[in-house]
Amino acid sequence: MPKYLTQLIVNHRSLSIFYRFPGLIRLQHVIVWLITLRFWYVFRTLKRILRKRGNSSYIIDVGCASGEILFPLSRRFPDCEFVGIDISDSALEACTRLAEHKDLKQVTFVKSDLFGYKPETRADLVFCISVIQLIPDLEKVLKKLLSFLNPGGNLIIYVPVNFKRVIPGYHKLRTGWLKESDYGFYYPEDKNMNEADLRRKLEKAGASEIRAINCYGTPGKIAYELITLGQLMILHLNWLLAIPFGLVYFPVIIIPALLLMIIDMLYSHQSGNGLIMIAKKPEAEQSSINE
């Protein structure tokens, strides 16, 4: 498929026509949610924390992409204030158009990288999903994220881990014919993280009350492999083959994949291919938000 469209799919970006019809961005979010189990886990975690914190929290989404998590969260908690930051012009344009379309006054967006961002006020909750594995100096990253928080505020991060495969031949195909996909950049298997290392670095950065949630047990792994196999195949086929392949493949696998994702959410896992870390900024912490 054309490189432009490939990058849109892999990076969760929107077609330019979506900016003229922002309702299509909402449809894009629905489709992405149907096939992305980590959103389910992260959203459940965020909801539980915000229910305890109350409805007037200030929340920062670091690396908000097209707002796949931020917008559903803002609809669930309309009295909270939300800020999404990202470095992508196209992602931020999609977010801004959708916020205007839905008249979401409590949602704003800022173009910035992590280290260049200077929030106007400290946040009660900061979340950063599938981003920190891409940035060198993890301890510095975690310290910066914690600096955005009020004392007693919560930090939630999600990272891919383990990269264990279930379906026979999937790994070989992924690292062979399909290896040129940009997925390898966003989920680098050669930069694996683990709970112990993240816990240690969070503690060194100044966090407390750290706990972990393992995601993507065996059912989730199978669902992920079924879905991404189809996505990767489409990205590597020409138009004449990609369209009929997608029309046949996804209707067949979507129901089994959804059932596997639901099963994965129903019980806790001792390990998995995804990891959510929840940490708290100590009440006595008074460090500068601009450090």
Structural domain includes residue 270 = yes
Q: pTM, whole model, 2 decimals?
A: 0.89
pLDDT (tens digit per residue) in 177-196 = 666 555 554 566 656 688 99
Residue 93 lies in a domain: yes
pLDDT tens series, the chain, 291 aa: 444 445 555 555 656 666 677 778 888 888 889 999 999 999 999 999 999 887 778 999 999 988 999 999 999 999 999 999 999 888 888 889 899 888 898 999 999 998 999 888 899 999 999 989 888 888 999 999 999 999 999 999 999 998 899 998 887 887 776 665 555 545 666 566 889 999 999 999 999 999 999 999 999 999 999 998 888 888 778 878 888 988 999 999 999 999 999 999 999 999 999 999 999 999 875 444 444
| The pLDDT value given to residue 54 | 74
CATH number, domain with residue 53: 3.40.50.150
| Domain total of the chain | 1
- Token pair belonging to 40: 């389910």
Does any domain span residue 175? yes
> What is d(CA 246, CA 248) in angstroms, rounded to the nearest whole number?
5
**What span, in angstroms and rounded, lies between the C-alpha atoms of 59 and 166?**
36
Residue 274 region by backbone torsions, left for phi larger than 0, else alpha for psi between -120 and 50, else beta: beta
Give the domain range for residue 58. Answer: 3-280
Q: Is residue 15 part of a domain?
A: yes
- Whether residue 8 contacts residue 14, with contact meaning beta carbons closer than 8 Å, is answered with yes
- SS3 per residue for 151-165: EEEEEEEEEEECCCC
Close Cβ partners of 47 (under 8 Å, ≥ 6 residues apart): 73, 76
Residue-wise pLDDT for 115-130, tens only, equals 999 888 899 999 999 9
Is 273 part of a structural domain of the chain? yes
Q: Is residue 286 part of a domain?
A: no
Whether 285 is in a domain gets the answer no
Q: Are 130 and 277 in contact (CB under 8 A)?
A: no
Does 288 fall in a domain? no
